[in-house]
């Protein structure tokens, strides 16, 4: 079946630190991969996506590369800001349905 | 363009009561979804629809019903509310099978006591 496993949190970092949130997946076929972000009290918003192997998604300084050989889609940012504090969800889609990870809470302290 | 809207934002129900959570989108998307998010957990799919008149069960459909009479609206019905249905409910839409992105509403926080 299809599933996503992501790093458990919470994660607390100082401003300007390097961020990595690990995500691995299991899927039949050729999924598209996503990172969504959820700010407090809001719905999920798409952060970045990659639709095929070796694609790199990027947005707002965040990056993730679709690695088929390791079935991974790790999220990285070189220098986090306080405004990046949120919950981050890794997800995959095979077309009709999305499968979400459990979310990783990130808090960035000044 | 309002995107995906949900009403109400908050609701408290007594055990055994019923209610309908409303969801509407103005992007002419064919695909719509209902998820629930329990504290500290990911999203679980309740029901989804690939077009007007077509609905299908997701991972956790028990205790819920849906209908899709128009492209715009996808209401979720709770019959005989139970404490286990206390959760935050999100509606989402997607343009089509290869549209890749789901657009989420702001959520409805439901408490059943």
A50 neighbors A64 (Cβ within 8 angstroms): yes
pLDDT digits (tens, 9 = 90+) for A49-99: 999 999 999 999 999 999 999 999 999 999 999 999 999 999 999 877 889
Q: How many whole angstroms separate alpha carbon A12 and alpha carbon A10?
A: 7
In terms of Cβ atoms closer than 10 Å to its own Cβ (0-12, 13-18, 19+), residue A9 is: middle
For chain B, give percent helix, strand, coil, nearest 5. Answer: 5, 50, 45
Mean pLDDT of B52-75: 96
Nearest CA-CA distance, residue A66 and chain B, Å? 15
Chain A neighbors of B98, CB-CB under 8 A: 95
pLDDT digits (tens, 9 = 90+) for A8-48: 889 999 999 999 999 999 998 889 999 999 998 888 999 99
Q: Which residue of B has its CA nearest to A5?
A: B42
Put simply, the answer to whether B106 touches A101 (Cβ < 8 Å) is no
Query: Beta-carbon neighbour count of residue A87 at 10 Å?
Result: 20
Residue percentage of chain B with pLDDT more than 70: 96
Chain B neighbors of A42, CB-CB under 8 A: 106-107
Chain B neighbors of A97, CB-CB under 8 A: 45, 48, 58
Report the SS3 class of residue A38.
strand
Whether B97 shows a pLDDT value over 70: the answer reads no
B3 Cβ neighbours under 8 A, 6+ residues apart:
B25, B26, B27, B103, B105
């Amino acid at each position: 079946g299809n599933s996503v496993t992501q790093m458990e949190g919470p994660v607390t970092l100082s401003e300007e630190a390097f961020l990595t949130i690990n995500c691995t997946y299991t899927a039949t076929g050729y999924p598209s991969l996503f990172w969504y972000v959820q700010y407090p009290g809001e719905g999920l918003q798409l952060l970045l996506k990659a639709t095929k192997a070796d694609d790199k998604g990027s947005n707002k300084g965040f990056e993730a590369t679709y690695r088929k050989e390791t079935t991974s889609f790790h999220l990285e940012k070189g220098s986090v800001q306080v405004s990046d504090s949120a919950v981050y969800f890794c997800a995959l889609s095979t077309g009709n349905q999305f499968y979400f990870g459990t979310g990783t809470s990130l808090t960035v302290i000044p | 363009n309002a995107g995906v809207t949900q009403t109400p934002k908050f609701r408290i129900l007594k055990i055994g009561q019923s209610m309908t959570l409303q969801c509407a989108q103005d992007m002419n998307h064919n695909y719509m979804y209902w998820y629930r998010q329990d504290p500290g957990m990911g999203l679980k799919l309740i029901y989804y629809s690939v077009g007007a008149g077509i609905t299908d069960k997701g991972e956790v459909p028990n205790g819920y019903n849906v209908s899709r009479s128009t492209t715009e609206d996808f209401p979720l019905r709770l019959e005989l509310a139970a404490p286990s249905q206390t959760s935050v409910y999100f509606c989402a839409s997607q343009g089509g099978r290869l549209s890749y992105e789901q657009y989420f509403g702001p959520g409805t926080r439901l408490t059943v006591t």
